[in-house]
Amino acid sequence: MYGLVNKAIEGMISKYHGENTWETIKQKAELEDIDFFIGMDAYADDVTYRLVSAACEVLDMPAEELLKAFGEYWLQYTAEEGYGELLASAGDSLPKFLDHLDNLHARVGLSFPQLRPPSFECEHTSEQSMELHYQSTRCGLAPMVIGLLQGLGKRFNVKLDVTQISFREEGGTHDIFSIEYEDS
């Protein structure tokens, strides 16, 4: 994953739990030799997974909960890191944004040539509901998608109810989320 992801993990931990906690997590992840992550550099996925695992242990928090919080934080972080216009160009409503996620990742890939983005497909089931199909080469990140969806609900001032209805880790071909939404 790119350093931008690891920098966002650092930002979330430091903001909500303090710099000392971040240093403890880096040490537990055996990454204390890294002074800082470079956003545009690619790092082995293992670095990110080690950070998440160490954070769960230090914070005594289940991975699912941490990844949900990170997903929500990711939207705010990327907007503040200069990707706000790119996010805005993906759509002015929740359904439009979700419909254009693969296009958004394609545009991001122009700046991040080693990007291995997930793929999203929307199946609109009614005026205010859809199923979001999520496919990724990486395992275990479905809770982050739930957090991203919750963050998008806040971004578009929409009440969301998200339920995961298919689980890749339980034998499904991919993860599927049922989303019901209404304007706040």
Give the residue extent of every domain in the chain: 3-61, 68-183
Question: Torsions phi, psi of 12, nearest 5?
Answer: -65, -45
pLDDT exceeds 90 at position 184: no
CATH code of 68-183, in short, is 3.90.1520.10
pLDDT exceeds 80 at position 169: yes
Q: What is the pLDDT of residue 99?
A: 97
Which residue is it, tokens 């954070």?
55
Q: What is the pLDDT of residue 183?
A: 83
pLDDT, tens digit, 9 for 90 and up, residues 121-155 = 999 999 999 999 999 999 999 999 999 999 999 99
Q: What is the pLDDT of residue 113?
A: 86
Q: What is the pLDDT of residue 157?
A: 96
Q: What is the pLDDT of residue 89?
A: 93
Q: What is the pLDDT of residue 107?
A: 92
Q: What is the pTM of this model?
A: 0.94
Q: And the tokens for 150?
A: 């919750």
* Confidence label for 37 from pLDDT (cuts 50, 70 and 90): very high
Q: Is 141 exposed, middle or buried (0-12, 13-18, 19+ CB in 10 A)?
A: buried
Q: What is the rounded radius of gyration, in angstroms, for the C-alpha atoms of the chain?
A: 16
Q: How far apart are CA 19 and CA 16, in angstroms?
A: 9
Cα 105 from chain centre? 12
pLDDT exceeds 80 at position 38: yes
SS3 123: strand
Q: Is 31 exposed, middle or buried (0-12, 13-18, 19+ CB in 10 A)?
A: middle
Q: Cβ contacts of residue 86 below 8 Å, gap of 6+?
A: 104, 107, 108
Q: What is the pLDDT of residue 91?
A: 95
